[in-house]
Amino acid sequence: MRQEIEEAARGRSGREFWRSLEELADTEKFRTFLHREFPALNAPEADPAMLDPTGRRNFMKLMSASLAMAGLTACTRQPKEYIVPYVKKPEGMVPGKPAYYATSMTLGGVAQGLLVRSNEGRPTKIEGHPDHPGTMGGTDVFAQASVLSLYDPDRSQSVTYLGDFRTWGDFVTAFRSALDGQKPRQGAGFRILTETSTSPTLAAQMQKVMAEFPQAKWHVYEPATRDGAREGARLAFGEPVHAVYQLDKASVLLSLDADFLTNGPGAVRYARDFVARRRLTGGAKEMNRLYVVESTLSTTGAKADHRLPLKASDVLSFARAVAAGCGVDAGAPGPLSAEAKKMAEAVARDLKANPGQGLVLAGEHQPAAVHAIANAINAAVGAIGSTVILTDPIEVQPVDQAQSLAELVRDMNAERVDLLLILGGNPVYNAPVFKDEKSGKALTFLDAMQKVGLRVHLGLYVDETAEHCQWHVAEAHYLESWSDARTHDGTACIIQPLIEPLYRGKSAHELLAVVGNEPGIPPYDLVRNYWKGQLGESFEQTWRQAVHDGFVASTARAPKAVALRSDWAATLPSSPAKSGQEIVFRLDPSVYDGRFANNSWLQELPKPISKVTWDNYAIVSARTAASIGLSPNDEPYHANAKMVRLVHEGRELSMPAWVQPGHPDDSVTVYLGYGRTRAGSVGTRLGFNTYTLRSASAPFIATTGVRFEVGEGNYQLASTQEHFSISTSDIKSDFMIPGEDLEARHIVRTASLADYQHDPHEALHHGAHKPGKELTVFTPWKYEGYAWGMAIDMNACVGCNACVVACQSENNIAVVGKDLVTKGRIMHWLRIDTYFKGGAVNPEVFFQPMMCQHCENAPCEVVCPVNATVHDAEGLNVQVYNRCVGTRYCSNNCPYKVRRFNYLLYGDWDTPSLKNVRNPEVTIRSRGVMEKCTFCSQRIMAGKIEAEKQNRKVKDGEIQTACQTACPTEAIIFGDLNDPESRVAKLKLEPRNYDVLADLNTRPRASYLAAIRNTNAELGNGHGNSHDGHAGGAKNHG
Amino acid sequence: MATQEARRTMAEATDKKAYVDPRPPVIGPGYDFNSLTNKIADIVLMRRFQKGWVFGFGIAFLGALLLFNTIAYLVLKGVGIWGNSVPVGWAFDIINFVWWIGIGHAGTLISAILLLLRQSWRNSINRFAEAMTLFAVACAGLFPALHTGRPWLDYWLFPYPNTMGMWPNFRSPLMWDVFAVSTYATVSALFWFIGLIPDFATMRDTAKQKWQRSIFGILSMGWRGDARHWHRYETAYLLLAGLSTPLVLSVHSIVSYDFAVGIIPGWHATIFPPYFVAGAIYAGFAMVLTIGIPVRKFYHLEDFITLRHIRNMAKIMLATGLIVGYGYLMELFFAWYSGNTYEQFMMKNRMYGPYGYMYWLLILCNILVPQLLWIKKFRENLFVVFLVSMFINVGMWLERFVIIVMSLNRDFLPSSWRMYTPTVFDFSMFFGTIGFFLTLMFLFIRFVPMIPIFEMKALLPQSKVQESKEDEKAKGSEPLGGALPQFGD
């Protein structure tokens, strides 16, 4: 082959030479040659030696490659590229105008409906799908960030065998022959492992496979299992029914360690429905009430009207106490604190007082017993059929995943498996630790897997699992392939691709087609053919509509009439008598189970509440930290977290401790998903692998053989916000001056619902000062046309971070990395400030999204020496990047500190694939300029142009900022203040409306609606009030 | 002017024959025109380099090299090599700028204001102080020029007609800074050079080497000591002194506006202009003493820089130090009296916050230690004065740290509060400018007469005899009014 190239080259000269070589380089043949000869050029992750950027071997390989390819690399001329004008423009395609397509992303198997923006054929931005039953227009962080994963240059890019590049054809041949070997044994040695799936097409394909290999087994596993819920339903109702909550109908909610607002199926929809009952706008005076009993302080806990920190293992006792109060016999609760008992009684009374409007939700990682009790209480208070609807399961294989995986490991360990097909997932990394039945020793998934003859892995990355499988097939991203899935209520969604697979990845459907001996059918046909069989009459029309809408209308699961079994409580385990130390495993709020580890947007996303980026850590309460000798950090600002050594069943892990207000004592929460060894250039070797501590027997709450003690050394965590309470408290008292409080700043305004109903102004704004408009030396601006403004409802904000990632995606915001986050250089234009109120034991938590406030009297505008930040006729504070010389005076003078400076060249200007993810409407900022929120001026422009074309004014809601469209709860509303009928103008007249730092007379265009807590008078004001006695209403201060 | 003044003093002396100045003279005994010229000019004209000078220059030049390297890296990589962040957008860069500008104040003050106030004791230290001013302003100017994100576009800060149709923002104090500092630098340089012309001529005439003669010849711009030259020279010098005087007050007032115009608690204070000017003079004199005391020793200039000079400067430091102390006190008072929660928090944070030790160090250096100068014995003890001036140098730097970093790192929204940590490049830039400054000082000492020869001559009794005769002829045409009292004991 090389000779061919050289010969071809020798025969030509001058310009022709280069062109022909490149033409040559473009052929399939040449590419195969290149892959075989120089694997390093294309997929550095294929070879561990290549991971070390300074490795000598790496250097030598690249050197030899570049010498051989000198014809290509030494070329100083621009490469010859062909532009192809549209001879006939495709219909509906306007160059420069984005198109939107409906599709869905699955997480934990459950679909989240999306609209994806495509600029000239490149998907660039994920938007919510307003008509989708699973989201109602919101999104979560993972969906927002998924577009970056699509273009991730570290993604697996080909089929490999033992790390060498192969073609898809090679793979099919080899795989088919292995399957043929299984044929005579009816697939007895054949196992398929998938993640949770709700795809009807996949189910149909699996049926076919199972028919062909009746002895084969299909196992399902992923770390975020819903085994507890499934088993709890089986205990209560006799079958694993799936619960769909109707939160908009619920007036009293009890969360038993359930983070239902940001986690689990339907969270986006649930957040929307939950907040619908808390809006308090347009004269509404009533709210729902949320009680949260939880171990780890979650965003749901932060929204609670009453929250009780309770060890995860004690939640069962609490559930029993509530059940007893509701007249349900669920067994005797274990010992509970007086506070917990009081709360349980109050909750039970509240639930009983609101029949048919109460709802108890159990956390997915809580054991089956808690779910069973929650179901029983729901049945008792008339919730079933009203606030909770039970349906058939939405998963295609509703098995107990822990058991399913254990069974697979047992079979593999006994060498009963010859062929293992892993469709997605990364079990080598994220499976728990098993016990060898014979020897009693710890057994990892990898140990067992290596006893399998042939291992085939389909995955987006060459990850830990791919590393130990002979065959690896690059998977197609969901934006690249056809599939289908169900949303939380069972509605079937069609997943349509927006782009050809970038790296010729394959979907699970294509692999299963090979197993089913029908290779070569494109995935489009696989999905379409399935639905052809389902939709029957008038298929074409329905299909077109379904693909257009992103979901198949009226396919939601029908409610299922099931009754509580009479003996449901018989098999429940007894409550723990006295609980010792426990370790709680939770999915990471940013990288989930570790699958998003290589997504830098998510890595740099400050985790809700702790605001830590790029790491995981062990969360402990202040009291526990003190009791095990982790005295409160003596260094300011968590700069150096102390290490804590966690021991579970003899396995040890040292990780940095994070003292979290509101965490129960004697409990440690660790996030899963870090400590990856083969994640890619971003995610490898970040944080600590907590899967190594996790046992198959106790996947979420480990209580036996648990110990934690002070570890050695310190660890640098990169947090973007320091934690200060707005009231006097013991939170971070080391760094606050004793007796100092921040209430006089009136940053967060809050009141109880009762006080608010009584006198909103007195309750919220007492003591706050807002100077008159005339108090400025500059001539006030006049806004004749539009006057853009924003209102942010702190009662609605659940702190989920979707807006932060949406902003990053829309505005091409750079990622700076952990070191620079530590230095205070994070570039997010929008951040979510978290404030505590009350003591460290159980504080109230408030979220305040903070971005450029677009002040009418902007302090930044006055001080810029070169007029780079100026006021526009519509009230926007405009940053002119071209003009900015970077004095940073504007940032210094900004009271909200929302400006971000490019201290270094942060943007990745080189990686070709990452160029595609950028929004072409927004400039990439260079080094040395200031940037900040623009209220998405590119969207405002687009909206105005559209309106002007039709010779009308922009309609309210026509222009939506990126944060607004991403928000699951419509907490952010943008619009024209000059239009008295606009939503934002009306919100600004609400009694809850206030400006942050109004006393500075900056006249911000963004204002906030105060947070109201619907407290139960029986339990006193605010969160558990047994602590320091400082928690209370806003203090009066001039 | 100086000669004129001497003339006038003499005239006064002849009028009141009985009056004898009880204060020690500002020039040692036993000098005549020749020996004085030789003493000062020899330092410049000698052929070899003294070991001490070479050693000192070598060290200083290493510092300058450190600066050049840092600057190169800074321009290549960006200001991110420093520890600045959001919220602390300004840190060492602006601290150093204000510190150097402050130091640059003594020169003009000594040259211009003391000249107008006819403090003839200033004659021996003025050139030295002016050179210091010039070099300090050069160091200061580096920071605002290089602290921007895109230093190659700094010229946008100047109002010049351009095709972009853009004009700078005249509301911005940084804009005012550009004018204030550039004017100050220009006037200081002119003032310094004009004062040097007669001495360059002396050097030209004294020099033995041809190349020395030609260089000094060019620099002396054809000065022949003609009466008309003297007349024009003195008019120009007086005019420039008049021009510089308001500049002494304006430059640091405007620098203080960078902060006072801002909204940040700890910056937004009306007392800043006078308090900054006093601080600048304070810092300037401290630096004059820091450099002057060793130079006086090494070049045996005790006869020209006498104890009376040292004492006078110590007194000025004491006085301006008290003004600065008053400024600190007023900041406290304002915070309390305003009832403003942000101001009050800012003051508490300064004293008891995580950087509290910086504030107390500042009080020690700027307020407590200089009180030693109340005692006459200490004022005359060179070691004590030197030590105090070093404390003040450090203290004035700390003052800017307290004002700039400690106000920014905890302002309005606690969510943005963040500690600031400098990097190695912050230090290399700072120490680099010190090296650069000292390099220039060493070159100045070696190649330019550091003490104005002709002005010193005017202080000699010889000149007075002759001038008194001339003076009698010119009597009645005296341009200025009666004698002003001389400062000092």
Chain centroid offset of residue B310 CA: 16
* Structural domains of chain A, with CATH: 2-73 (no CATH), 159-223+398-481+505-520 (3.40.50.740), 242-391 (3.40.228.10), 582-719 (2.40.40.20), 743-764+781-1016 (3.30.70.20)
What's the CA gap between A897 and A859, in Å, rounded? 11
Q: Report chain A's mean pLDDT, rounded to a whole number.
A: 84
- The residues facing A1013 across adjacent strands are A752
Residue B402 has pLDDT above 90, yes or no: yes
Residues of B in contact with A745 (CB under 8 A): 341-342, 412
Average pLDDT on A467-480 reads 92
Residues of B in contact with A823 (CB under 8 A): 83, 85, 421
* CB–CB contacts below 8 A, A to B: 179
Cα dihedral A66, A72, A77, A81 sign = negative
Among the partner-chain residues A740, A745, A859, the one whose CB lies closest to the CB of B348 is A740
On whether the CB atoms of residues A828 and A716 are closer than 8 A, the answer is no
Residue A998 has pLDDT above 80, yes or no: yes
Q: What is the pLDDT of residue A1038?
A: 29
What pTM was computed for the model?
0.86
Q: What is the pLDDT of residue A930?
A: 94
Residue A892 has pLDDT above 90, yes or no: yes
On whether the CB atoms of residues A701 and A581 are closer than 8 A, the answer is no
Residue B195 has pLDDT above 50, yes or no: yes
pLDDT in tens, A46-77: 444 444 444 545 544 544 444 444 444 444 45
Residue B120 has pLDDT above 80, yes or no: no
On whether the CB atoms of residues B338 and B488 are closer than 8 A, the answer is no
Best of B154, B415, B425, B426 to disrupt the A interface (most A CBs within 10 Å) is B415
On whether the CB atoms of residues A176 and A189 are closer than 8 A, the answer is no
Residue A936 has pLDDT above 80, yes or no: yes
| Residue A721 forms contact with B (CB below 8 Å) | yes
- Before B87, cis peptide (omega within 30)? yes
| Residue A159 forms contact with B (CB below 8 Å) | no
Asked if the Cβ–Cβ distance from B417 to A722 is below 8 Å, we say yes
Asked if the Cβ–Cβ distance from B419 to A636 is below 8 Å, we say yes
- Tokens coding B385: 């004065």
Q: What is the pLDDT of residue A763?
A: 85
Best of A888, A925, A933 to disrupt the B interface (most B CBs within 10 Å) is A888
Task: Using CA coordinates, name the residue in chain B closest to A997.
Answer: B412
Nearest Cα residue to A801 out of A1013, A963, A587, A1011:
A963
Three-state DSSP at B235 gives: helix
Best of A633, A878, A897, A1035 to disrupt the B interface (most B CBs within 10 Å) is A897
Best of B88, B92, B155, B263 to disrupt the A interface (most A CBs within 10 Å) is B263
Lowest mean pLDDT, pick from A512-516, A818-822, B245-249, B282-286: B245-249
- Tokens coding A666: 């004697």
Among the partner-chain residues A724, A834, A886, the one whose CB lies closest to the CB of B150 is A886
Lowest mean pLDDT, pick from A291-295, A821-825, B39-43, B471-475: B471-475
Instruction: Kindly indicate the confidence band of residue A112, based on its pLDDT and cuts at 50, 70 and 90.
Output: very high
Instruction: Kindly indicate the confidence band of residue A1032, based on its pLDDT and cuts at 50, 70 and 90.
Output: very low
On whether the CB atoms of residues A602 and A146 are closer than 8 A, the answer is no
Give the ipTM. 0.87
Average pLDDT on A780-807 reads 92
Residue B6 has pLDDT above 80, yes or no: no
Average pLDDT on A808-821 reads 92
Q: ∠B65-B101-B371 over CA atoms, to 5°? A: 110
Q: What is the pLDDT of residue B151?
A: 93
Amino acid letter at A40? A
Q: What is the pLDDT of residue A435?
A: 85
| Residue A909 forms contact with B (CB below 8 Å) | no
pLDDT in tens, A365-405: 899 999 999 999 999 998 888 999 999 999 998 888 999 99
The values of phi and psi at residue B207, to 5°, are -65, 145
Residue A537 has pLDDT above 90, yes or no: no
Nearest Cα residue to B44 out of B455, B441, B458, B444:
B444
Instruction: Kindly indicate the confidence band of residue B8, based on its pLDDT and cuts at 50, 70 and 90.
Output: low
Three-state DSSP at A588 gives: strand
pLDDT in tens, B460-486: 666 655 544 555 555 444 444 344 444
What's the CA gap between A138 and B382, in Å, rounded? 75
Task: Using CA coordinates, name the residue in chain A closest to B94.
Answer: A887
Average pLDDT on A783-808 reads 93
Among the partner-chain residues B85, B149, B420, the one whose CB lies closest to the CB of A902 is B149
Q: Report chain B's mean pLDDT, rounded to a whole number.
A: 83
Instruction: Kindly indicate the confidence band of residue A640, based on its pLDDT and cuts at 50, 70 and 90.
Output: low
pLDDT in tens, A114-129: 999 988 888 999 999 9
- The residues facing A309 across adjacent strands are A294
Residue B430 has pLDDT above 90, yes or no: yes
Chain B: closest CA distance from residue A826 (Å): 8
Asked if the Cβ–Cβ distance from A885 to B148 is below 8 Å, we say yes
Residues of B in contact with A865 (CB under 8 A): 157, 168-169, 172, 174-175, 178
Instruction: Kindly indicate the confidence band of residue A788, based on its pLDDT and cuts at 50, 70 and 90.
Output: very high
Residue A1007 has pLDDT above 70, yes or no: yes
Chain A: closest CA distance from residue B276 (Å): 19
Q: How far is CA B477 from CA A429, B2, B470, B481, in A?
A: 100, 17, 12, 11
Asked if the Cβ–Cβ distance from B79 to A866 is below 8 Å, we say no
Domain residue ranges of chain B, discontinuous segments joined by +: 2-158+171-464
Chain B: closest CA distance from residue A884 (Å): 8
Lowest mean pLDDT, pick from A217-221, A685-689, A902-906, B3-7: B3-7
| Residue A865 forms contact with B (CB below 8 Å) | yes
On whether the CB atoms of residues B83 and B408 are closer than 8 A, the answer is no
Tell me what percent of the residues of chain A surpass a pLDDT of 90: 47
Average pLDDT on B316-331 reads 92
Residue A9 has pLDDT above 60, yes or no: no
Chain B: closest CA distance from residue A897 (Å): 6
Asked if the Cβ–Cβ distance from B148 to A887 is below 8 Å, we say yes
Residue A16 has pLDDT above 50, yes or no: no
Best of B74, B357, B412, B425 to disrupt the A interface (most A CBs within 10 Å) is B412
What's the CA gap between A721 and B21, in Å, rounded? 68
Asked if the Cβ–Cβ distance from A899 to B412 is below 8 Å, we say no
Q: What is the pLDDT of residue A2?
A: 52
Average pLDDT on A1014-1022 reads 78
Among the partner-chain residues A735, A747, A886, the one whose CB lies closest to the CB of B149 is A886
Asked if the Cβ–Cβ distance from B156 to A883 is below 8 Å, we say yes
Q: What is the pLDDT of residue B414?
A: 84
Asked if the Cβ–Cβ distance from B339 to A1038 is below 8 Å, we say yes
Give the residue, A381 or B248, on which the prediction is more confident. Answer: A381
Roughly what angle, to the nearest 10 degrees, separates helices B227-260 and B272-298?
130
Chain B: closest CA distance from residue A193 (Å): 46
Asked if the Cβ–Cβ distance from B85 to A744 is below 8 Å, we say no
Chain B: closest CA distance from residue A1000 (Å): 8
Task: Using CA coordinates, name the residue in chain A closest to B82.
Answer: A903
pLDDT in tens, A297-355: 999 999 999 999 999 989 999 999 999 988 888 888 888 888 999 999 999 999 999 98
Q: What is the pLDDT of residue A461?
A: 93
Asked if the Cβ–Cβ distance from A824 to B87 is below 8 Å, we say yes
Residue A636 has pLDDT above 80, yes or no: no
Chain A: closest CA distance from residue B265 (Å): 10
Q: How far is CA A575 from CA A40, A324, A662, A808, in A?
A: 57, 14, 23, 46
Best of A635, A720, A845, A889 to disrupt the B interface (most B CBs within 10 Å) is A889
Lowest mean pLDDT, pick from A425-429, A715-719, A950-954: A715-719
Roughly what angle, to the nearest 10 degrees, separates helices B382-408 and B92-103?
140
